[in-house]
Amino acid sequence: MTARVTVDVRESVAWLTISDPPVNALSATLIRHLTGALDEAQPPAILAVVLRAPAGSRVFSAGHDVSELPRHGRDPLTYDDPLRLAVRRIETHPTPVIAMVEGSVWGGACELVLSCDLVVAADTSTFALTPARLGVPYDMAGTLNLLKVTEMHFVKEMLFTAQPIPATRMAAYGVLNRVVPADELEATTAELAADIATGSPLVHQVMKEELRVLANAHQMTPETHERIQAERRRVYDSEDYREGLRAFAEKRPPVFRGR
């Protein structure tokens, strides 16, 4: 089986390239290769990680592999779903992880990119949150991850419109650290990674974990959690969820009827 993720180490920085043509869909196999590559990229040998797609990619990633979304009565985004595993793995990786983005980013791939510690994007890149287009009830951990990186109104615009947002607007809302012309993307990312690599890996690791714990510190009663899960179940058990997946397979716009 060809590796969906290749690793290139340059001066203590591990460059992880996700590549599964034609659209780098986040399949369970690609995520397994990604987490395996991260397992190899440990400090002090590795002091920063860059997550990227092949140079010149028109699509950075089309998000969750839709063919792997459950069809009947199963939660599409559970704790051990590949996307959830990948996001947690990046959030807990002991070194800073920089997403270097070129091309369009869709659905769960947006969350994957935004779960990285920094994001450097080409000025031609776009970001689209697509649950509403597919009828998918996104999960609370994922929704919180979006809310952690920008403002409520902007998260709602992205979620409710499901439209691709240009990198310049993402940066205006503080979501991206750098937006540069595509031909400056790699040099800008390499410079940022080199700066990070001069710092204390012990401090990076503890500060990253402090920020993760503080950002996730939210009160919620078990009853509230169960109520939301029940509401999500009504969505993934709905005809609209089945219509979203059917429309995707049939390459047509979905017709949602609210049932």
Residue 161: Cβ within 10 Å count: 13
C-alpha to C-alpha distance for 165 and 138, rounded to whole angstroms: 19
Of the residues 94, 96, 107, 201, which one makes contact with ligand YXS according to CB under 6 A:
107
Our answer to whether residue 64 is catalytic in this structure is yes
CA dihedral 29, 102, 96, 42 (to 10 degrees): 40
Task: Verify binding: residue 22, ligand YXS, rule CB under 6 A.
Answer: yes
Is 253 a binding residue for ligand YXS by CB under 6 A? The answer is: no
Whether residue 14 contacts residue 39, with contact meaning beta carbons closer than 8 Å, is answered with no
Quickly list H helices, the chain: 28-40, 82-91, 108-114, 131-134, 140-147, 152-161, 167-172, 185-197, 201-215, 222-236, 239-249
Cβ closest to ligand YXS, residue 98 vs residue 134: 134
Residue closer to ligand YXS, measured from CB, 80 or 223: 80
Amino acid residing at 2: T
Cβ contacts of 83 within 8 Å, gap of 6 or more? 26, 31, 64, 77, 108, 111, 112, 142
Residues 112-131 that bind ligand YXS (CB under 6 A): 130-131
In whole angstroms, the minimum distance from the beta carbon of 131 to ligand YXS comes to 4
Cα Dmax for the chain: 55
Count, residues near ligand YXS per rule CB under 6 A: 21
- Tell me which residue has tokens 């992205």: 158
> Could you tell me which stretch among 8-16, 31-39, 100-108, 153-161 binds ligand YXS (CB under 6 A)?
100-108
* 108 is a contact residue toward ligand YXS (CB under 6 A): yes
Is 25 a binding residue for ligand YXS by CB under 6 A? The answer is yes
Residues numbered 172-191 forming contacts with ligand YXS, rule: CB under 6 A: none
Choose the catalytic residue: 103, 107, 108, 244: 108
Instruction: Mark 133-162 with x for binding to ligand YXS (rule: CB under 6 A) and - for no binding.
Output: xx-x-x------------------------
DSSP annotation of 64: B
- The residue of the chain with the least Cβ separation from ligand YXS equals 107
User: Per-residue string for binding with ligand YXS, 58-77, x by CB under 6 A?
Assistant: -x--xxxxxx--------x-
Which amino acid is residue 85, in one-letter code? Answer: L
108 has catalytic annotation = yes
Q: Which residues bind ligand YXS (CB under 6 A)?
A: 22-23, 25, 59, 62-67, 76, 104, 106-108, 130-131, 133-134, 136, 138
The residues assigned a catalytic role are 64, 108, 138
